[in-house]
Chains A and B, each alone.
Chain A
Amino acid sequence: MNEYIGIAVSFLLAGGVAGAMVFLGSTLGKKNPTPEKLAPFECGKEPFAIPMGRLAIKFYLTAILFILFDVELVFLYPWAVVYRSLGFLGLTEMGIFLVVLMVGYIYAWRNGALDWN
Chain B
Amino acid sequence: MPLPLVWLIKVVLIYGGLITVAAAMSLAERKVSAWIQWRVGPNRVGPWGLLQPVADGVKFIFKEELVPEGANQTLFRLAPILSAVPPMLAVAVIPFAGEVSIGGHVTTLSIADLDISTLYVVAIGGLGIYGVILGGWSSNSKYSLLGGLRASAQMVSYELSLLLSILVVVVLSGTLDLRQIVNDQAGPIFAWNIFALPVGPIAFLLFVIATFAETNRHPFDFAECEPELVGGFHTEYSSMKFALFFLGEYCAMTVMACLTTVFFLGGGNIPWWPDAPWLLELTCFLSKMGFFLFLFLWVRWTLPRFRFDQLMALGWKVMLPIAIANVFVTGALLSLGWFA
Q: A residues near B, CB below 8 A? A: 3-7, 9-11, 13-15, 17-19, 21-22, 24-26, 28-33, 35, 37-43, 50-52, 55-56, 58-59, 62-63, 65-66, 69-70, 73, 76-77, 80-84, 87-88, 90-91, 94-95, 98, 101-102, 105, 109, 114-117
Contacts and interface: CB of A to CB of B under 8 A. Distances in A.
Contact of A69 (B142, B160, B239, B332): B160
B317 interface: yes
Interface in B242-268: 243-244, 247
Given A13-B11, A105-B321, A95 B66 contact: no
Contact of A84 (B64, B143, B334): B334
A33 B66 contact: yes
A117 B309 contact: yes
A9 to B, nearest CB: 6
A4 to B, nearest CB: 7
A29 B69 CA distance: 19
Given A7-B89, A102-B324, A59 B149 contact: yes
Contact of B335 (A14, A33, A65, A91): A91
A62 B312 contact: yes
B209 interface: no
A69 B320 contact: yes
B324 A80 contact: no
Contact of A9 (B11, B159, B164): B11
Contacts of A6: 7, 10-11, 92, 111-112
Interface residues of B, number: 79
A77 B121 CA distance: 14
Given A10-B11, A51-B141, A88 B113 contact: no
A40 B324 CA distance: 43
Nearest to B66: A37
22 contacts: A6-B111, A7-B112, A10-B88, A10-B89, A10-B92, A14-B88, A18-B84, A18-B85, A22-B81, A22-B241, A24-B61, A25-B240, A30-B64, A41-B235, A43-B230, A50-B70, A50-B140, A63-B152, A66-B160, A77-B170, A83-B334, A114-B317
Contact of B81 (A13, A19, A70, A102): A19
